[in-house]
Amino acid sequence: MREINVKEIENAVCKLCISANKTLPPDLEEKIKTAGENESDPTAVSVFCDLCENLSAAKQLDIPICQDTGMAVVFLDIGQDVHFTGGDLYNAVNSGVARGYTGGLLRKSVVADPLRRKNTGDNTPAVIHTRIVPGTGVTVTVAPKGFGSENMSRIYMLTPAEGEKGVISAVLDTVKKAGSKPCPPIVVGVGIGGDFESCAYLSKLALCRSLSQRNSDEYYAGLENRLLEEINKTGIGPQGFGGKTTALAVNIETAPTHIAGLPVAVNIGCHVTRHASLVI
């Protein structure tokens, strides 16, 4: 049994909230640069130049990449041999978010009630997902989610008869309806299987996977590549101005499901699909 004081979790979340909002994962930044080099349309090339300039400016000025610093989504992979001390785990996570967004001068975008709309003032509460895994460590991932892209995400409760074609249709329908609104080039997270809520979780988890890593199942890795190709044929292009690159990657995560269902969730990430992790 390993004891971890929840203050360590709080400090980690605080640090990750700031770093995730100011620096993209290296693989995503490289995808943006490479995609710009592969464009031939002058407007698309110009847009990619602007995106790269924005990334450089954020580093030089030590400011967020995007003004929408998102709702904090926190994934905790907790070793089953860990015992937390020093207080409540979820309170620690939210304290870390509050410190990160306040001390990091990040925009606070969370309202306490969905209809009465009063801002909480510190970007809490976070959306927290926990998984119990083997071991004595804790992996903390913070994925700030802006709502320009989140609002374009969808869930489809397909029938098993719709199969692969239905999944492809659902993903393409989501992307086409989104158009320029999620600030393409986008990253597309797809959750297939489980039930209504778990497929949505899978689609968000998919956005935290490295863009250089394909699904470990060869079949789904092939489907990721096919979907990316079909999405980029839409011609929506960077920021919706046309071009070869509407999406940078499609990541699929799957789960077993019921014999009568085929749940599919499509979670759209903008060109700054942010996430950062550390292990305690």
Distance of CA 278 to the CA centre of its chain: 16
Which SS3 state, helix, strand or coil, does residue 92 take?
helix
pLDDT in tens, 40-51: 999 999 999 999
Q: Are 140 and 74 in contact (CB under 8 A)?
A: yes
Residue 279 exposed, middle or buried by CB count within 10 Å (0-12, 13-18, 19+): exposed
Q: Note the pLDDT of residue 16.
A: 98
CA dist 180 → 2, 12, 183, 223 (Å): 48, 34, 6, 24
Residue 187 bridge partners (DSSP): 249, 269
Q: Say what the pTM is.
A: 0.96
Instruction: Look at the block and give the residue holding tokens 């020093």.
Output: 86
Written as one string, the DSSP assignment of 201-220 is HHHHHHTTS-TT---SSHHH
The predicted pLDDT at position 136 comes to 98
- Residue 101: what pLDDT? 98
Rounded to whole angstroms, how far apart are CA atoms 264 and 261?
10
The amino acid sitting at 76 is: L
The mean pLDDT value of the chain amounts to 97
pLDDT in tens, 82-139: 999 999 999 999 999 999 999 999 999 999 999 999 999 999 999 999 999 999 999 9
Ordered by start, the domain boundaries in the chain are 2-20+65-145, 148-273
CA 173, CA 6: separation in Å to the nearest integer? 43
Average pLDDT over residues 229-236: 97
Three-state DSSP class for residue 71:
strand
pLDDT of residue 110: 98
Instruction: Render pLDDT for 140-174 as a digit per residue (tens, 0 to 9).
Output: 999 999 999 999 999 999 999 999 999 999 999 99
> Cis peptide before 42, with omega less than 30 degrees from 0?
no
